[in-house]
Structure 1
Amino acid sequence: MGKVVDILKKVGAITTNSHIVLTSGKHSSKYLNKDALYPHTLEVSKIGKMIAEKYKNKNVGVVIGPAMGGIILSQWTAHHLTLLKKQEILGGFSEKDGENNQVFKRGYDKLVGGKKVLVVEDFTTTGGSVSKTVRSVKACGGKVVGVCVMVNREQAHVTAKVIGAPFQSLDVFQSDAYDEKDCPLCKQNRPINTELGHGKEYLAKKAKK
């Protein structure tokens, strides 16, 4: 673990010894809470600068992040790339559609067409959101020069091959992510955390079955 995890600890964004439902649907006892990080603009700015430093020589024209977490990070990264390169680097984001894909709305498809694009995200567990964003960038005629996440929670499984583009992370945080059927926390009847992650939605869906 390195600088980013240290920042997350500093702002109280790491929860342990709980029962969390992650965005991916997997269950974990640990949680990285982006909502606890993003109000601290100075710290987010530092992270955006770390990413920008890695890609300052890659001729990036646009920085894209998948909603929601990638939106703020894309703006800070584009801001610092603009300062480093002394030319305007645009920032935008992709959004989920009804089929859970990441697509471009609001005219942002025109931002990426014919451009070299850097895709950024805060945390990744399966690589799903960023890989879908990569596909959308390519479908709009953009070239993905790289994907960078703040923290990779599954270093052994989330790779450039899975993402579909050159990939790196600023830091790693190995979490114990389980499929629901294999979750030891469920077997121990540990209560689902409804304050963090997607526990509230998970329980609501389960109640309808």
Structure 2
Amino acid sequence: MTQPGAAAFLELVSGRRGHFRLESGHHGGLWLDLDALFAEPRRIGPFVAALADAMRAHGVDAVCGPLLGGAFLAQLVAHALGVEFCFTERVMPADAGGLYAARYLLPTAYVERVRGKRVAMVDDVMSAGSALRGTFAELQAHGAVPVAAGALLVLGAAGAEFFAARGIPVEAVAREAYELWLPGECPLCAAGAPLEDVAAGGERA
């Protein structure tokens, strides 16, 4: 079977160009609306199957994903692998500033279930990796053993480099170039482009 690619994935989502402040605190020029990604399981099925196949080699006991899309994906991948599923929920401080301010917490019911287990972390899209970084920290805090991170689409290198530096392999069904900027280094800010804060609406990056 031919591996689905970035172009096929981007056909499934809505996107627009502009100047955006993302959840990670970085600025970017592309925003993807992922809310309806899982509305038609048949269309996303080949991507889910490819990610599940990639995760088999890691011998996982559970799959964890951040709400919303990452949790939907985690449940599908866990079902394909015949392992447990769990999810994390975002907590964004009211005065969030700087980079990676968002926290991702396990519901109480899952805290003891993940202890000592080999867990794969998945999200629909990863760029800077804010949601997966938060999930990684939360799993470690409760004694889980994160062994792999994965996404249907990995944009750029920032998120993947974070996990690679910690010895966590990153599985991507598709990859695409993507530019992120620190607020003080953003060329769109320098050009005076209006900034839209999409982090408040749940967009991850």
Please give the range of the TM-score, normalised by the shorter of the 2 chains. Answer: 0.7 to 0.9
Q: After superposition, where does 1:56-95 map in structure 2 within 5 Å? A: 56-82=56-82, 89-95=83-89
Q: Which residue of 1 aligns with 2:104?
A: 102
Cα distance, 1:120–1:199 mapped onto 2, change above 3 Å: closer
Return the TM-score normalized by structure 2. Answer: 0.78
Identity %: 23
CA-based RMSD of the aligned residues comes to 2.7
> In the aligned structure 2, how far is the partner of 1:22 from the partner of 1:97?
15
* Deviation for aligned residue 1:52: 0.8
Structure 1 equivalent of residue 47 of structure 2: 47
SS at match of 1:120: strand
Q: 1:166 to 1:148 in 2, by over 3 A?
A: same
- What corresponds to 2:140 in structure 1? 138
CA 1:199–1:55: 2 relative to 1, 3 Å: closer
Structure having the higher helix fraction is 1
Residues 80-124 of structure 1 show CA distances to partners (whole Å, capped at 9, x for unaligned) of 212xxxxxx121101234663222114111221122211111222
User: Could you tell me how far apart the structure 1 residues matched to 2:107 and 2:76 are?
Assistant: 21
Q: Is the 8 A contact 1:127 1:163 kept in 2?
A: no
Is the alpha carbon distance of 1:163 and 1:71 closer, same or farther for their aligned partners in structure 2, counting shifts above 3 Å? farther
For normalisation by structure 1, the TM-score amounts to 0.77
1:154 maps to: 156
Q: In proportion to residue count, which structure has more strand?
A: 2
Of residues 178, 183, 186 in structure 1, which corresponds to 2:181? 178
SS in 2 for 1:186: helix
Q: Which residue of 2 aligns with 1:5?
A: 6
The answer to whether the 8 A contact 1:131-1:163 is kept is no
- Give the match's secondary structure for 1:24: coil
Structure-1 residue corresponding to 2:96: none
SS in 1 for 2:109: coil
Which sections of structure 1, spanning at least 5 residues, go unmatched?
A: 83-88, 202-209
Report if the CA contact (8 A) 2:67-2:90 is conserved.
yes
1-structure distance, mates of 2:183, 2:122: 28
* Distance change >3 Å, CA 67–CA 156, structure 1 → 2: closer
Where in structure 2 are the equivalents of 1:11-50 lying within 5 Å?
11-15=12-16, 17-50=17-50
The aligned length equals 191
Partners of 1:14 and 1:113 in 2: how far apart? 38
Residue 132 (structure 1) shift: 2.7
Q: Which has the larger radius of gyration?
A: 1
- Give a deviation string over 1:119-178, Cα, whole Å, max 9, x none: 111222223322332232223222222111222222266323345622232222222222
Determine the C-alpha separation between the residues in 1 that align with 2:113 and 2:200.
35
Q: 1:163 to 1:19 in 2, by over 3 A?
A: farther
